[in-house]
Structure 1
Amino acid sequence: MNRYLLNISYIGTHFRGIQKIVNKVEGPHVDTKTIQGCIELALRSLNPINEIQTVISSRTDAGVHALHSTLHVDLQRRNSKPFDPTTITCVLNRLLQKNGFPIRVLSTQQVPDTFHCRYNARGRNYLYRFAVAKNGNSHTDRLKNHDVFMPVEELDRCYFLQNCTFDIERLRAGSHMFLGLHNFRTFMSVSRQRSATRDHPRYTLRTIDQIIVKPGKSVAVGANARLAESLYDYWDIEFTAKAFLYKQVRRMVGALLALATGRIDERSLYQMLTIPSKNSWDHRVLLSPPFGLYLCRVYYDEKDLKLPEVFNSNELAGAASN
């Protein structure tokens, strides 16, 4: 049995999320409404003799995308030899493309049997993309002229705000409040899968290492890109931490957008952060939609990925004689 790390990317628009749902009543089945289920379906084409059980490093919800995420899987060939990682990548991508799944395997790597893609992750980087209508291009005026434009390439890829009263510097300053160690219980949505661990006071402690707010750009092409960037200011917010809570990033973005548009003030944001409770959530804040969110990178220490050195029999015999 050998363990493999799969580096993957996907467009999450039409998926229920990355995590498959196991129905114990109906028994094992292929869940093609999730990224994990689609990859396990593709892995069957390798015909391993063991049962395929993948482990995901990061949970993303319905509509969230990933430029880079990871999962690991144990596979055993009939001849007990390891699978070639490049072959795994090619076979999986061929099957995923054939079935029309918007998922691609970036690379495959054999890793130590003790490696765990979630527990060994040293950090994660998320990006949230949004675009704000430029001054004088308000939602009301544009509706009167019937010229509300959104490039087709950006559908379900970016959050468009039809609000000309937007203060990006206020958003940037507010983002600094999240940096460092905080109890983010207010910014955690309640998961359907509750556990005693999630109720522990220390579970909601997280350290945000970095938040970068910077100008973005349209992913449209040609005339669509020129028109989009004449109508909207694009912005990117990047969050880096070892781990995040359930829907934490989308809630932080929602709070920052509410601050930038004047729905809340800095005092309200400070109270949500310093009084950690689900009751502290300011309901003037809207949860930012999932389609603007991208998991950009899962980080590992290279030494955790390195296979242990295996000496051949001649080297062992030579060492014994010395």
Structure 2
Amino acid sequence: MHNRSRYLIFFQYIGTKYCGAVRSPPHQLNKTGIQNHIEDAIKKLRPVDPVLSTISSRTDTGVHALSNSAHFDLQRRNDMPPFPEDILVNALNFHLKTEEIRITRAYRVPHNFHARYCAQSRTYVYRIALGVNNRFLLPVTEQNLCWCLRNTELDVGAMREAAALLVGLHDFSSFRAVSSDMPFKNPVKMLNVASIQPSCSFMQTHFCREIPILELTFKSPSFLYKQVRRMTGALVAVGLGRISVPQMKEILEAKDSLVYPQGLAAPAHGLFLTRVDYKKTDLQISPETSEEQLVSTGTSED
């Protein structure tokens, strides 16, 4: 039908009370997925057919996103024209109401566009608060949004040396979760960025005590299940002197998830998906109906 449109939406959420980005199974009643709520909001727009969305990045329970993405097809009733992008954003946010989920942008895209397979890269940031015994000592703006370490200092130099070992094309089997439900996914990944930098935050400017925040940034076309949290946990162990840089290399080169030290993975609540990038040419419907645009979750162009 001429008025059926495919949309790409970007959305953000605080993942604390959700079971992850994708929809929850029918038998799970205590927590729902972000996808459940987005599809419920789309349903309230009264489309001709039921709408199923496709999420680009499957974040885990408790993980947050400053920008995830999804696509879906929508046909309005009574042969009405497609929703303009800004109207769609406002309508979905209205129906999401008090959920900690917000649609930030929407784009009409070609009918063969796929939010997951067209993504060129994904960027995650892991936040660590130093010198804090537990999250209840953080300001309310930061609770459940970073990993609290009682240590006031980490050997950042050693962490950066270890992080450099991870950059490039590697078999990351050692950093794949043992309980992964995707055992046949190719473990060879290209990690473009693994950086460690101090963060300047609203909290540090206005809170009554200074709390250093470290941000670990990872960028890759795709990641294995819990790969970022396991890499983060290992790098923190290096910073604490529990693992040496040569031992980090041995873990990587072992290509075996059972070699990864038990209990070392970082908790979910410090992790943010911050960018999903696409080629501008993949987003063009036609020269007549769409201008060239680079859609990404940030302001820089990679």
Band the TM-score falls in, shorter-chain normalisation:
0.7 to 0.9
Report the Cα distance in structure 1 between the residues aligned to 2:261 and 2:227, rounded to whole angstroms. Answer: 15
Q: How many residues align?
A: 284
CA distance in 2, matches of 1:38, 1:30: 14
Aligned residue type for 1:81: P
Q: Report the equivalent of 1:267.
A: 246
CA gap of 1:174–1:194, structure 2 versus 1, over 3 A, is closer
Partner of 1:41: 40
Aligned to 2:8: 5
Q: 2:24·2:32 contact (CA, 8 Å) conserved in 1?
A: no
For each residue in 1:71-115, what CA deviation from the matched residue of structure 2 results, as whole angstroms up to 9, or x when unmatched? 001011120532222111001111112xx2001100111100000
Correspondence list, 1:100-119, <5 A: 100-119=98-117
Is 1:249 the counterpart of 2:248 in the alignment?
A: no
Give the one of 196, 199, 215 matched to 2:198: 215
Quote the Cα distance in structure 1 between the aligned partners of 2:261 and 2:29. 40
**In 2 relative to 1, CA 258–62 (structure 1 residues): closer, same or farther, beyond 3 Å?**
same
Q: Which residue of 2 aligns with 1:235?
A: 214
Cα deviations by residue, 1:143-192 (Å, 9 ceiling, x for unpaired): 9xxxx832222100111110145211111111101000000011011455
Paired position in structure 1 for 2:294:
none
Q: Contact 2:161/2:245 (CA < 8 Å) preserved in 1?
A: no
Structure 2: gaps of 5 or more residues: 290-302
Q: Verify the 8 A CA contact 1:30 1:37 in the aligned structure 2.
A: no
Query: Which amino acid in 2 is paired with 1:184?
Result: F
- Alignment match, 1:18: 21
* Partner residue, 1:276: 255
Q: Render the CA deviation track for 1:124-157: whole Å, top value 9, x for unaligned.
A: 1111111212xxxx96xxx9xxxx8322221001
1:81 paired with 2:84, answer no
Tell me the CA shift for residue 233 of structure 1: 1.9
Out of 243, 263, 266, the residue aligned to residue 288 of structure 1 is: 266
Is there any run of 5+ residues in structure 1 with no aligned partner, and where? 312-322
Amino acid aligned to 1:271: E
Q: What percent of counterpart residues are identical?
A: 34
Comparing both structures, which one devotes a greater share of its residues to helix?
Answer: 1
Instruction: Give yes or no for contact 1:31–1:38 (8 Å, CA) kept in 2.
Output: no
SS in 1 for 2:44: helix
Residue 295 of structure 2 is matched in structure 1 by none
Say which SS state the counterpart of residue 88 (structure 1) adopts.
Answer: helix
For 2:140, the equivalent position in structure 1 comes to 152
Alignment partner, residue 92 of structure 1 = 92
CA RMSD, Structure 1 to Structure 2 (Å): 2.3
Match of 1:167 in 2: 155
Give the secondary-structure state (helix, strand or coil) at the position aligned to 2:235.
Answer: helix
In structure 2, how many angstroms separate the alpha carbons of the residues matched to 1:302 and 1:223?
Answer: 39
Contact 2:178 / 2:258 at 8 angstroms: preserved in 1?
Answer: no
- Which TM-score applies when normalising by structure 1? 0.82
- Paired with 1:209 and 1:223, the residues of 2 have a C-alpha distance of 34
Rounded to whole Å, the distance in 1 between the matches of 2:260 and 2:167 is 19
Q: Which has the larger radius of gyration?
A: 1
TM-score by length of 2: 0.88
